[in-house]
């Protein structure tokens, strides 16, 4: 009877060790926010979203620099990490001083930092103000070889001076 009891305890310990090692291996493959979600970990309702692994590591969703630029420019389409296709309708609002002659450039890059599209956002109202002015642009691009990229909405800077440059960076996914 003692031998059976010892064998059962030994098997239980072995199963626990195998389970623990497998769990650690699964968690070690989590290196970013989306892998964290795909591994079935806890997703916190915050902005930006956060995912915590079972071993306590925290991954925060990359939303570009949207929160830092909220008082200068706001984008309503596309939103950070949205899946985009061509042609892409871009909409939002920016302070009047983000424009020059009622427009500013919008560039699309793939994950390899290759520019794959350029459009000019046009003010949809009087841009000679410090208030927010709605803008629209349509950007056409070829399907890139990467599944991720980023959109850059550049403050128009006719002076070329670095102190007058600014940009909103929006991470995106390609279909």
Pure H helices in 29-157: 33-38
What pLDDT sits at residue 24? 47
pLDDT at site 25: 46
| pLDDT (tens digit per residue) in 75-93 | 999 999 999 999 999 999 9
Poorest-pLDDT segment among 22-31, 49-58, 62-71, 102-111 = 22-31
Q: In whole angstroms, how far apart are CA 50 and each of 57, 58, 64?
A: 10, 7, 14
Would you place residue 100 in the very low, low, confident or very high pLDDT band (cuts 50, 70, 90)?
very high
Residue 83: the pLDDT is 98
Give the start-to-end residue ranges of the domains of the chain: 2-60, 66-174
Architecture of domain 66-174: Sandwich (2.60)
Q: Does position 29 have pLDDT exceeding 90, yes or no?
A: no
The 10s digit of each residue's pLDDT in 2-18 is 776 666 665 666 666 55
For residues 107 and 120, what is the distance between their CA atoms, to the nearest angstrom?
9
> Mean of the per-residue pLDDT values for the chain?
90
Res 128: pLDDT: 96
Give pLDDT tens digits for 111-133. Answer: 999 999 999 999 999 999 999 99
Give the residue with greater pLDDT, 160 vs 28: 160
């Amino acid at each position: 009877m003692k031998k059976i009891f010892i064998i059962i305890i030994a098997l239980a310990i072995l199963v626990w060790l195998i389970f623990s090692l497998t769990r650690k291996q699964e968690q070690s493959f989590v290196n970013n926010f989306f892998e964290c979600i795909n591994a079935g970990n806890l997703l916190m309702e915050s902005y930006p979203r956060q995912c915590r692994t079972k071993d306590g590591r925290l991954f925060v969703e990359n939303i570009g620099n949207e929160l830092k630029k909220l008082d200068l420019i706001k984008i309503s389409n596309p939103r950070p990490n949205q899946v985009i296709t061509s042609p892409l309708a871009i909409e939002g609002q920016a302070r009047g001083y983000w424009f020059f002659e009622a427009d500013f450039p919008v560039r699309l890059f793939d994950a390899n930092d290759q520019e794959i599209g350029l459009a000019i956002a046009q003010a949809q109202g009087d841009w000679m103000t410090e208030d927010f002015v709605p803008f629209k642009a349509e950007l056409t691009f070829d399907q890139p070889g990467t599944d991720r990229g980023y959109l850059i909405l550049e403050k128009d800077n006719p002076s070329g001076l670095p102190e007058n440059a600014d940009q909103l960076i929006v991470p995106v996914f390609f279909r």
